[in-house]
Structure 1
Amino acid sequence: MTISARSPLDRVLPRDENALPVPAQTPDLGALPEWELGDLYPAPDSPELARDIEAVERACCIFARDYDGKLASLDAGKMLECIERYQEIDILAGRVMSYAGLRYYQNTTDSARAKQMGDLQDRITAATTKLVFFSLEFNRIPDARYEEIFAAPNGPARYKPVFDRMRAMRPYQLSNELERFLHDNSVVGAAAWNRLFDETTAGLTFDVAGEELGLEATLNLLTDHDRARREAGARALAEVFGRNVKLFSRIHNTLAKEKAIEDKWRKMPTPQTARHLSNHVEPEVVEALRDAVTAAYPRLSHRYYRLKARWLGLDKLQVWDRNAPLPSESPRLIPWAEAQATVLDAYAGFSPRLAELAQPFFDKGWIDAAVKPGKAPGAFAHPTVTTVHPYVLLNYLGKPRDVMTLAHELGHGVHQRLAAAQGELLAATPLTLAETASVFGEMLTFRALLAKTADKAQRKALLAGKVEDMINTVVRQIAFYDFECKLHAARAKGELTPEDINALWMSVQAESLGDAFEFMPGYETFWTYVPHFVHSPFYVYAYAFGDGLVNALYAAYEDGLPDFQAKYFDMLAAGGSRHHKELLAPFGLDASDPAFWDKGLSMIEGFIEELEAMED
């Protein structure tokens, strides 16, 4: 574990100076909030920012002088002091990079912002190279001595979960010199390829019926009520992705090979091992999830999409029909004020405390909601550091799914606020649990809307939208995970051509979506724009993990589990201080039990059955 320069979540897809203006028809949704970043630093040239950058560099030098080669000799009290000093550096470095990263994603067309982020990443990486010794030397402390230090009453006992996870990396760590090299080299290795991917994707333009659109606006067309518009968007995506597929193939080949080389040196048994370790989840638990979902494809996605084809009056669905609104669904744009009230009311219906934790995001400039020129597409909640607060980025266009995205990201934000009390080292939640509050927030909002919907057509549209979101979260993400597994396994045997990668993509798409679909020429290149494959290998199963976990949690809530709200807040406030087995025990749940995942999948199946019953 080393301190690293931070940026907002990897799912973000930033744009560069070639980004297009937003479409002229951007709807009037009321006043949309913008970030107020002054809680981090007053300005990009502020003395406070310059002071903190210098403080990070100075603190790293002093920390290395005081502790390099001496960790094993520290008593419990001195070890606690050491860890708390390390944490302070982590906070300082994280604050600097959070500010630079958020400013950049707010307007990636600004070359000054891009330069500042790159320059600060270089400086923070150079400074923290001096701390690489910390985790390596810590992991060499003999087990008996380690247990003695962390058992002492005046010692660092509360931090033990962090260092237990770190020591799980012991079999895979390299020499101090090699680890320092990898740390230094990161800015011109994976990080450089990540940036190339971001800037390339950001610069793509799509001609849709004579209108030039960026990626976000073109993807947005795939949910348009007009089927011709959806098709035009899909064909524009295919044309541009196909024209750029060689470059994306080079990026994926290089990153997969670089990962394979590092994994070989570390003696990682599989390409997925590092992700499982960082998630603090056992490989067999992930495999149980994966196997349960793939076995459920026929009764979930295959079944639902055959139903949807009938609703749309089609023999076969095309890829541009996958997320199409239902014919009976009335197109309606939801103003920002209504979206805010909808989510906060749903949160308050679960617990007033949940709404109170979410309210400051709206009141204090913690959300940036509008689609703007140069702004990163997508959505994220970035925790910054535990001494400040999270920030949420949205691209709000007033669609019902945008309201669910708001509920999702606010869930992350509330989770991050609650976990902040653990302190910087313990607040971060493993990815397997990081989606818990976000997906639960969506479920609360959906259930609140469903309870208020008496009209049969509206109820059907709402249920169908939820099923599609759950399929996208569970089925699609496990298909993504299988694609990555196949990609890394194939790359181990040699260079992959674009056609090779296309074939891997289509194999998982056909399997997961089923026989209701016909795939247009060009869809085989749609792997090219997914940022997770580039930024965070094997990240995607966390979404399915989170959805399945929340479905099981929500079932316990509906069944009237005593003190559910208190147990829920305790789980979120734990951050990364406890293992998922311990956190789920109060709810009577165990993710290592294969039947656990079937509980979650049965909820999706129940919604599909309700939709089928509406056909009668």
Structure 2
Amino acid sequence: MQKHEYSQKWDLDSLFKTSGELAEHIAYTENMIDSLVAEAKTAHIHNPYEIKKLLDSLGDIRIHLSQASSFTACLIAQNPRDPDALSLQSKTASLNARYDNSVKLVQSLVATLTSEAWEQLLGAEKMDDYRFLINEWREKAKWQLSKKEEKLLADLSVDGYHAWGQFYQTLMSSIKISIPMGTEKELSVGQAINLRSHPDRMVRKMAHDALEGALKEKEELFAKVLNHIAGFRLEMYKRRGIENVLEVPLQENRITKETLDAMWKAVTKYKAVFTGYLNQKAKLFGNDKLQSYDFWAPATLANQELPFDEAADFIIEQFGAFGTEMKDFARHAFENGWVEAEDRSGKAGSAFCAGFPLSGESRVFMTYGRSITNVLTLAHELGHAFHNHAMKPIGGLNRYYPLSLAETASTFSELAILNAAYEQADSKEEKRFILDEKLKRSVMNFMNIHARFLFEERFYKERQSGYVPAQRLNRLMQEAMDEAYVDSFGSPSCRTWIWTPHFYLTKSPFYNFPYTFGYLFSQSIYAAAKTNGPEFEKSYINLLRDSGKMTVEELVMEHLGEDISTPGFWEKGLHLCARDAEEFLAIDNLL
């Protein structure tokens, strides 16, 4: 029974009441950067106190800058054509570039210290909070160019590199998908993608075909965007002496190549059981291979729809199973307008969570369509928001956690919802429905994400030799999908590279394998939560707070006592997921 009513429109006014207030905030942040640069130029770099002061300032600036950048992102998401928001985006992009330059200025100061001065700095008690970070900076210094070259690259990136990423968002939001569903209706890309889980197979196929057709018309334009982003990145890496495009994401994710290879090796070993699930689901729809437009469809119509208010109450209740802080946090988010979920056209297509560290808040953006996938997306993004909440006591610079851990809290939240729904299911049909949803997550992380990784790896290899046209991009995507799904997927979208926004991120390439990492890591965390009971929440929050202070290998060893550079660690999580597939097959006595 529905207990509460929650707004599906977020409250942004409580963050900045007027455009003038935001302008003042941006100006204040700009002055903070000016002051830092002036201090850095006269700082006595052998004095740990002065170095710490610079680092503290960088952290404060980052918090203020994130507040403005997140607000701008929210404005554009709710209305991608808002001219004021686009103007603000340009200003915050320039400010971010200036901040990046100020960070590099301080990094260069640290990098020039003699070995003796460096050891003295590390040994200073004042540097306890920054020891890991400055060690990482010193390691990255090998990629640093001259001040003149760094400034040139930063300036060029605003209207070049980053502008292409922003143009991608605008271009995607301009696409309208026409699907004859009784009355002709124009949908956004996000709304069309939501129809993948529609109970009517004809609707799913029409949405799939209409989306493919719309993307085909613009594929050469998207190919230009992707090629220019990759071309800029490769040229920048070349100037820095970076030979392999994976070097940067591995360091940014604070994991080793050995760890990444161990994870994919374990995933590949377990794929057979998931192809068995896909083949069985295909039979439910009368096919030998599962068609791509049937993948997100429910295996049964049980529990097909859930109103937003009921979904919110369910998430609050299940978060509460792991601690009062998680429960109170979720309730506060829903009751205080942190979620934009209204199903309307004109919105951006992708869900996200924006953190507002200055005010200690977050905002979640999505298009809620009443399906279980939407409930999971909502829980996923609230997981990100809870990670932001856990980091509130942490200084600005140590709030950064790698992408490999960015999906940990979000995926844990999904698992909490799915497992709770399965435990509460009474009938065989309900259990099959929930197992199907769980297995979709496994297939996405072990097959779809693997396909994205393979595509991006091969695309960058070819891009080094020149422009890669749309037709070739389609072929690379097709080959990656066939390999990752072990040929068990029918009619996969060869234009997935267009509507996957992660390929167009200008902050970092390869925003794919962190999802698989976070998914498997979350399996281990969930198991610990069920074992440890009430004590879990405290240790979980401590793990999240430490996520910006050490390598991932160190973090897992510290909190779980596990070595993630071996396939054995990953196989533990895979075994839990494989058990879901076996239970799915066993429901119909197929084993």
Could you tell me the TM-score, scaled by structure 2's length?
0.93
Query: Are residues 1:500 and 2:475 paired?
Result: no
Displacement of 1:358 in angstroms is 2.2
Please give the residue correspondences for 1:531-542 in structure 2 after superposition, counting only pairs within 5 Å: 531-535=501-505, 536-542=508-514
Aligned to 2:239: 265
Aligned to 2:155: 184
Per-residue CA deviations over 1:127-179 (Å, capped at 9, x if unaligned) read: 764554222222222343223123212x2221222222222212111111111
Query: Are residues 1:241 and 2:211 paired?
Result: no
Displacement of 1:269 in angstroms is 3.0
Decide whether aligned partners of structure 1 residues 575 and 587 sit closer, same or farther in structure 2, where only a CA change above 3 A counts: closer
Letter in 2 for 1:56: T
Separation in 1, partners of 2:26, 2:289: 58
- Residue from 29, 33, 36 that aligns with 1:60: 33
| DSSP-derived class of the 2:178 partner | strand
Could you tell me the TM-score, scaled by structure 1's length?
0.89
Per-residue CA deviations over 1:299-352 (Å, capped at 9, x if unaligned) read: 32x2211110122222233221121222x3236421222111111111111222
Decide whether aligned partners of structure 1 residues 33 and 344 sit closer, same or farther in structure 2, where only a CA change above 3 A counts: same
Query: Are residues 1:335 and 2:310 paired?
Result: no
Decide whether aligned partners of structure 1 residues 538 and 435 sit closer, same or farther in structure 2, where only a CA change above 3 A counts: same
Displacement of 1:483 in angstroms is 0.7
Separation in 1, partners of 2:76, 2:16: 14
Query: Are residues 1:467 and 2:439 paired?
Result: yes
| DSSP-derived class of the 1:433 partner | helix
Query: Are residues 1:414 and 2:386 paired?
Result: yes
- Answer yes or no: is the 8 Å Cα contact 2:25–2:68 preserved in 1: yes
- Answer yes or no: is the 8 Å Cα contact 2:194–2:369 preserved in 1: no
Displacement of 1:396 in angstroms is 1.2
Please give the residue correspondences for 1:471-550 in structure 2 after superposition, counting only pairs within 5 Å: 471-519=443-491, 523-535=493-505, 536-550=508-522
- Answer yes or no: is the 8 Å Cα contact 1:57–1:124 preserved in 2: no
Displacement of 1:505 in angstroms is 0.5
- Answer yes or no: is the 8 Å Cα contact 2:195–2:204 preserved in 1: yes
- Residue from 152, 163, 175 that aligns with 2:124: 152
Range 478-487 or range 571-580, more displaced: 571-580
Aligned to 1:610: 583
- Residue from 140, 164, 170 that aligns with 1:193: 164
| DSSP-derived class of the 1:390 partner | strand
- Answer yes or no: is the 8 Å Cα contact 2:524–2:573 preserved in 1: yes
| DSSP-derived class of the 2:495 partner | helix
Please give the residue correspondences for 1:584-595 in structure 2 after superposition, counting only pairs within 5 Å: 584-585=556-557, 586-595=559-568
Letter in 1 for 2:544: L
Aligned to 1:17: none
Decide whether aligned partners of structure 1 residues 387 and 151 sit closer, same or farther in structure 2, where only a CA change above 3 A counts: farther
- Answer yes or no: is the 8 Å Cα contact 2:352–2:364 preserved in 1: yes
Query: Are residues 1:349 and 2:324 paired?
Result: no
Decide whether aligned partners of structure 1 residues 168 and 130 sit closer, same or farther in structure 2, where only a CA change above 3 A counts: closer
Letter in 2 for 1:340: A
Per-residue CA deviations over 1:383-404 (Å, capped at 9, x if unaligned) read: 2225432211121111111111
Displacement of 1:371 in angstroms is 2.3
Decide whether aligned partners of structure 1 residues 488 and 128 sit closer, same or farther in structure 2, where only a CA change above 3 A counts: closer
Query: Are residues 1:277 and 2:248 paired?
Result: no
Separation in 2, partners of 1:562, 1:356: 15
Displacement of 1:39 in angstroms is 4.1
- Residue from 54, 70, 78 that aligns with 1:82: 54
Separation in 1, partners of 2:122, 2:12: 38
Per-residue CA deviations over 1:396-416 (Å, capped at 9, x if unaligned) read: 111111111121111111111
Aligned to 1:24: none
Per-residue CA deviations over 1:452-503 (Å, capped at 9, x if unaligned) read: 1111111111111110122113321121011100100111122222222111
Q: Which runs of 5+ in 1 are unaligned?
A: 1-28
Displacement of 1:559 in angstroms is 4.8
Letter in 2 for 1:233: A
Letter in 1 for 2:276: R
Please give the residue correspondences for 1:104-115 in structure 2 after superposition, counting only pairs within 5 Å: 104-115=76-87
| DSSP-derived class of the 1:392 partner | strand
Query: Are residues 1:41 and 2:3 paired?
Result: no
Separation in 2, partners of 1:97, 1:565: 30
Q: Which runs of 5+ in 2 are unaligned?
A: none
Identity %: 25
Aligned to 1:569: 541
Alignment RMSD, CA only?
Answer: 2.1
Aligned to 1:166: 137
- Residue from 253, 256, 270 that aligns with 2:230: 256
Aligned to 2:146: 175
Displacement of 1:71 in angstroms is 5.2
Please give the residue correspondences for 1:444-459 in structure 2 after superposition, counting only pairs within 5 Å: 444-459=416-431
- Residue from 188, 205, 213 that aligns with 1:214: 188
Separation in 2, partners of 1:126, 1:438: 31
Per-residue CA deviations over 1:179-203 (Å, capped at 9, x if unaligned) read: 1111111111211111221111111
Letter in 2 for 1:293: V
Query: Are residues 1:371 and 2:346 paired?
Result: no
Decide whether aligned partners of structure 1 residues 513 and 141 sit closer, same or farther in structure 2, where only a CA change above 3 A counts: same
Letter in 2 for 1:202: S
- Answer yes or no: is the 8 Å Cα contact 1:421–1:427 preserved in 2: no
| DSSP-derived class of the 2:297 partner | coil
- Answer yes or no: is the 8 Å Cα contact 2:188–2:349 preserved in 1: no
- Answer yes or no: is the 8 Å Cα contact 1:483–1:504 preserved in 2: yes
Aligned to 1:231: 205
Separation in 1, partners of 2:533, 2:25: 47
Separation in 2, partners of 1:276, 1:358: 32
Decide whether aligned partners of structure 1 residues 171 and 550 sit closer, same or farther in structure 2, where only a CA change above 3 A counts: same
